[in-house]
Chains A and B, each alone.
Chain A
Amino acid sequence: MRRYFRLHRIFIAQYLKRLMEYKGDFLLGAVGLLFSQAIQILFIGIIFSQIPRLQGWTFEEILFIYGFSLIPKSIDHLFFDNLWMVGYRIVRKGEFDKYLTRPVNSLYHVIVENFCVDAFGEMLTCGLLLGYALPSLNLPFYWYTIPVLLVVVVFATMIYTALKIMTAAFAFWTKSSGHITHMLYMTNDFSKYPVTIYNKAVQTIITYVIPFAFTAYYPASWFLTGKDPLFCIGGTVIAGTVLMAIALFVWNKGVNAYESAGS
């Protein structure tokens, strides 16, 4: 375990060296993400310029949920972005061979090889939103608020990452699975708004099938209202754990089915 932390540090150091060489690229990526979030928030602003509440939620509460959704999303984006490449390129082009000839867990190796600092664009948006919304929300603060937040963030990130691991692993059978990852990943946008605005079918899907609702709305609503801790917080923990267990199982099966490429 300690060795893996050490390796992680080395990879981050190497990554930073590479980063220095392509500063401009990363800046552009981060600005792009910041910008695309800003437009969406402008949209929410326009809505609230005409109505005081959206189905009972105030502007600040909506911004809080939106901002909260960016915490696990940006963490996953920062650390686990290379999983996209597994589905798009690494398996199809046979580049996965390399990871299998190293005395390190292949999943770990793929993940640490790249980081995506573009995610700082999302983190910045997240910070600005929460920084703006929190002071006017006057949320109750208990001794366990911070620990609960940490637990929620960890398991919510696991929901994102597990989904990416699982869909990336499909590539071991189908050669290419980036489009499947993309399709499922896009449903995360549903989590930016309160689940109550959706119809029953959508609610069921984002709660029980692709449980992105647990990455933002449910835990955020607990912080806002204090209601249903068992479902809102416990659900996040269970969803994260179950998805990750399935994802790791699929990944390991996939590695054995890997067919490489070329002659």
Chain B
Amino acid sequence: MENMIYAENLRKEFKKIIKEPGVKGSVKALFKPKKEIIKAVDGISFSVPKGEILGFIGPNGAGKSTVIKMLTGILMPTSGKCVINGQIPQENRKNYVREIGVVFGQRTQLWWDLALRETYAVLKEIYEVPDDRYKQRMAFLNEVLELDDFITSPVRTLSLGQRMRADIAAALLHSPKVLFLDEPTIGLDVVVKENIRSAIRKINREEGTTVILTTHDLADIELLCERIVMIDKGKKVFDGGIEELKHNFGNVRTFAFELTNPDDFSKLDYRTKYRLSDDDISVERDKSCVTVKYSTDKVSVEDIVSYTLSAVHVKDMQIKDVEIEEIIKRLYRREVEV
């Protein structure tokens, strides 16, 4: 399949002036500013085939937004290159951005004081959408994002959920080939989140729009993305499908059980029994319920269960498969070797 997005060795450095505290520091900064180079993005390469939904994840400050901003042409890469839809974003920006749609969840591109409908009328002109196409498109977006309830309200009166739907519609008005979504579900309630996810899926399926999204909500990833790229401290730490992620790093199992007698908890000592370190096992207890998360490399399911059953009386028990959240948590904490 042809690549819609192709990034090679992208780098972005920012210069930051370090200020020492106090008056002395300010004076010093005035005459001899101490500069530090921050590598926000440090050599990232990846590609996205046409029609794919790619999840872009990483802890706060990892450089996700910086990558998105380079791909959308907002920022100039310090080095490296990216080609999207056969174009280099920074080279012919005006032409390039016609084919892309961008949503920054934390910021709106709608005109604050105007009725929502007016924003679309202005965008129609900016993107030169023909009248009939515009009508058709608005009808479609209406259906997918349910804009009708608030399309005549001034943008400043919209709730966050309505505003986000309106923003996504604004980014899709000109039928872009690539849609960039930077935290599209931030701060939204579950119902709105689901509404937005299904809209993204629908647009991706029906129009073959390539979507690249950053998020902190792992449900977004599990429900939408075929593939994820994870970055941390400006570097790529994982690139692959969700199944692959589970397979490669899914050496974690959860064993949860309920004690008949809560006092029995003190009888359990997995660490000494199997000589495990804190990295390999974690035990949490809430009254009579105990949750044991352990690494399958170090100890088998059978061992854990049989040891538990022999040591204490158990009312109820459950063995859970790896949760993606757990893997990602570990990846963020750098507990898993990549």
Residues of A within 8 A of B (CB): 3, 6-7, 10-11, 14, 17-18, 21-22, 94-95, 97-98, 100-105, 109, 256-260, 262-263
Interface segment, one of B98-106, B139-147, B157-165, B293-301: B98-106
Q: Are B114 and A18 in contact (CB under 8 A)?
A: yes
- Given A17-B114, A100-B93, A260-B75: A94 and B14 interface contact (C-beta under 8 Å): no
Q: Are A103 and B95 in contact (CB under 8 A)?
A: yes
Inter-chain CA distance A259–B66, complex, in Å, is 9
In chain B, positions 115-132 with a C-beta closer than 8 Å to chain A are 118, 121-122, 125-128
> Which listed residue, A18, A94, A103, A256, touches B76 by the CB 8 Å rule?
A256
> Which listed residue, A6, A95, A258, touches B125 by the CB 8 Å rule?
A6
Say yes or no for B97: interface residue by CB 8 A criterion.
yes
**Which residue of chain B has the shortest Cβ distance to A100 in the bound complex?**
B74
Q: Are A258 and B74 in contact (CB under 8 A)?
A: yes
Inter-chain CA distance A258–B93, complex, in Å, is 14
Say yes or no for B113: interface residue by CB 8 A criterion.
yes
How many residues of B are counted as interface, with CB atoms below 8 angstroms from the partner's CB atoms? 34
User: Least Cβ distance of A95 to chain B in Å?
Assistant: 7
Inter-chain CA distance A102–B94, complex, in Å, is 7
Say yes or no for B209: interface residue by CB 8 A criterion.
no
**Which residue of chain B has the shortest Cβ distance to A263 in the bound complex?**
B65
Inter-chain CA distance A17–B113, complex, in Å, is 9
Identify which of A6, A18, A256, A259 gathers the most chain B CB atoms within 10 Å of its CB: A259
> Which listed residue, A3, A101, A105, touches B100 by the CB 8 Å rule?
A101
Q: Which residues of chain B come closer than 8 Å to A7, judged between CB atoms? A: 125-126
**Which residue of chain A has the shortest Cβ distance to B90 in the bound complex?**
A256
Q: Which residues of chain A come closer than 8 Å to B126, judged between CB atoms? A: 7, 102-104, 109
5 smallest A-B Cβ distances: which pairs? A103-B98, A101-B102, A100-B74, A18-B113, A98-B109
Q: Which residues of chain B come closer than 8 Å to A260, judged between CB atoms? A: 65-66, 69, 74-75
Q: Which residues of chain A come closer than 8 Å to B118, judged between CB atoms? A: 14, 17
Q: Which residues of chain A come closer than 8 Å to B24, judged between CB atoms? A: none
Q: Which residues of chain A come closer than 8 Å to B32, judged between CB atoms? A: none
Q: Are B106 and A11 in contact (CB under 8 A)?
A: no
Say yes or no for B107: interface residue by CB 8 A criterion.
yes
